[in-house]
Amino acid sequence: MSAGTLARFGDRLPAHEPGGLLLNIHQPRTDIAETTLAIVEELKGLEGPLLPILHGLQEEFGYVPQDCLPVIARELNLSRAEVYGVMSFYHDFREHPAGRHVLKLCRAEACQSMGGDQLAERAKRLLGIDFHETTPDGAVTLEPVYCLGLCSCAPSAMLDGEVHARLDAADLEALVQEARR
């Protein structure tokens, strides 16, 4: 990045690149707005298009940037508050980027019955973070999930969309290692 370039929180840019000026101001980014518009245009013909649009945006950006909301609101004839209300209701949609990898550990009953709680504690210790947090190096975000439907081979986890079951301490350590990379 050349000197004097503006970067904002939330952009997927290195946090402390020398020369970049970091500003926490709200200034709609044209590229986000354009990409959002393209996704909205593609999906707005669906019946009840808002969730598919939010999924599409999260897939594109890794989270749902604030700058998407006015575009969605305008195109779907909703208020920004309504769009934000929907987005913030669902656990899946992030307001901020996650780490490079997302490790989801199942916290539900079937996994508890097979030592899921202890496994979660171990994961927190290994990563040095709690649920909903990201490691300082930006490598891993740890999230709880309430059931992956792998209750017959508990405890289970999902690393970046890949499922893993019947995890023991060693398996977990291997998963964490993989995520750390």
- What's the CA gap between 114 and 37, in Å, rounded? 46
Residues from 96 through 155 that contact another protein (CB under 8 A):
108-114, 145-154
Determine if 48 is a binding residue for another protein (CB under 8 A): yes
- Which residue spans within the chain are E strands per DSSP? 6-8, 21-23, 101-106, 133-134, 140-145, 157-159, 162-164
| Residue selected from 122, 165, 173, 178 as contacting another protein according to rule CB under 8 A | 165
| Residue selected from 156, 172, 175, 176 as contacting another protein according to rule CB under 8 A | 156
- Paired strand residues for 157: 105, 164
Determine if 13 is a binding residue for another protein (CB under 8 A): no
Cβ at position 164, least distance to another protein in Å: 5
Residues 6+ apart with CB under 8 A from 178: 101, 159
Cβ at position 73, least distance to another protein in Å: 12
SS (H, E, C) 15-37: CCCCCCEEECCCCCCHHHHHHHH
Determine if 174 is a binding residue for another protein (CB under 8 A): no
Determine if 14 is a binding residue for another protein (CB under 8 A): no
> Contact region for another protein (CB under 8 A) — 14-22, 30-38, 51-59, 120-128?
51-59
| Residue 36, both tokens | 């959002």
Determine if 9 is a binding residue for another protein (CB under 8 A): no
- What's the CA gap between 158 and 153, in Å, rounded? 13
Cβ at position 1, least distance to another protein in Å: 33
Considering the complex, state which of residue 110 and residue 123 has its C-beta at the smaller distance from another protein.
110
**Pairing mode of beta strands 6-8, 21-23:** parallel
- Provide the binding-site residues for another protein, judged by CB under 8 A: 46-52, 54-55, 76, 85-86, 89-93, 108-114, 145-154, 156, 158, 161, 163-166
